[in-house]
Homo-oligomer: A and B are copies of this chain.
Amino acid sequence: MKKYAIAIHGGAGTILRHLMTAEKEMQYHQGLLDAITAGELILNKGGSSLDAVEAAVISLENFSLFNAGKGSVFTHKGMHEMDASIMDGLTLEAGAVSCVSHVKNPIHLARIIKEKSGHVFLSGLDAEDFAYQMGIELAGDEYFYTQERFDQWQEVKDSDTYQLDHSDKKETGEKKFGTVGCVALDQHGNLAAATSTGGMTNKRFGRVGDSPMIGAGTYANNKTCAISCTGHGEFFIRAVVAYDISCLIEYKGLSLKEACDFVVKDKLVKMGAEGGLIAIDAYGNIELPFNTPGMYRAWKNSGEETKLRIYE
């Protein structure tokens, strides 16, 4: 069997051990394990990295503690507006969607956009029309309702402030960038990346972050790497983070680790941008850099153990 590798994330932020209960930590570990297993099963059987990243992100979207799919945060209007994107490193084909409210698995919609729409990026209610026409599973507002997210929204909904997931939660100091993602290398040597998010609590005005933006939140190219980001999206857009790492490898000759460290721990820090990302290259090297206290993450190389981590 040829080698394969996979990494996932469930968001970065001020995730501190002393604020976590043992029970919650176990739940997060379970969510990460289920997702990486869903992706790895596909890779192990010789399936494509594209199928693997989609399967892992669907699992993360269905797990209600992460801010994507079920578990997405509430907007200012009390809705859920989700964004997602996926990219195939072999063909450089990509699909992306923003501001959909009733699609159970936005990453699956992004995949179908890539394959059947003739476009890369669809948005809003009209994108839901496309999902409906494609027979993609829709879900009502009640599916996306979770008590914890509702309570987070209630705390801030009468203000003009928004929360980056749990950001600025006064009693805990917690600050979390709620996004999920997966990158994978399959046995055929192909890379893929996928990212999905429920955005920011109390967000207004149809704000779009980096998650659905090819080059910013998601990028994959067999020649260089596959990347999925999580962080303060406005900075990640301006820094074109995912493609920047690819260019540092392709044009400047940096290694995956050098490129990741430079962008996340130097460039983004100088911009005042918090977050992290997961990265993989065609050799199966995996990097999971972040400049916050924690990032929910798991990774596995074929023939090795699965690693699950939350803190630094």
Residues of A within 8 A of B (CB): 87, 92-94, 98-99, 117-127, 129-130, 162, 204-209, 213-216, 219, 233-234, 237-240, 243-244, 247-248, 251-252, 271
Given the known interface contacts A204-B130, A248-B251, the answer about A123 and B99 at a Cβ–Cβ threshold of 8 Å is: yes
| B-chain residues with CB within 8 Å of residue A207 when the two chains form the complex | 117, 119, 121-123
Given the known interface contacts A251-B247, A252-B252, the answer about A238 and B93 at a Cβ–Cβ threshold of 8 Å is: yes
Please pick, from B99, B123, B208, B214, the residue contacting A216 in the complex, using a CB distance under 8 A: B214
Check B121–A208 contact: CB distance below 8 A: yes
Q: Please, which residue of chain B has its CB at the minimum distance from the CB of A214?
A: B237
| B-chain residues with CB within 8 Å of residue A162 when the two chains form the complex | 118
Q: CA separation between A13 and B33, bound complex, in Å? A: 50
Check B121–A99 contact: CB distance below 8 A: no
| B-chain residues with CB within 8 Å of residue A87 when the two chains form the complex | 238
Q: Please, which residue of chain B has its CB at the minimum distance from the CB of A133?
A: B205
How far in angstroms is the closest Cβ of chain B from A193? 13
Between-chain CB contacts (< 8 Å), 23 pairs: A92-B238, A92-B239, A92-B271, A94-B238, A118-B162, A119-B205, A119-B207, A119-B234, A120-B233, A120-B238, A121-B207, A121-B208, A121-B213, A122-B207, A126-B204, A130-B205, A214-B216, A215-B240, A240-B240, A243-B244, A243-B247, A248-B251, A252-B252
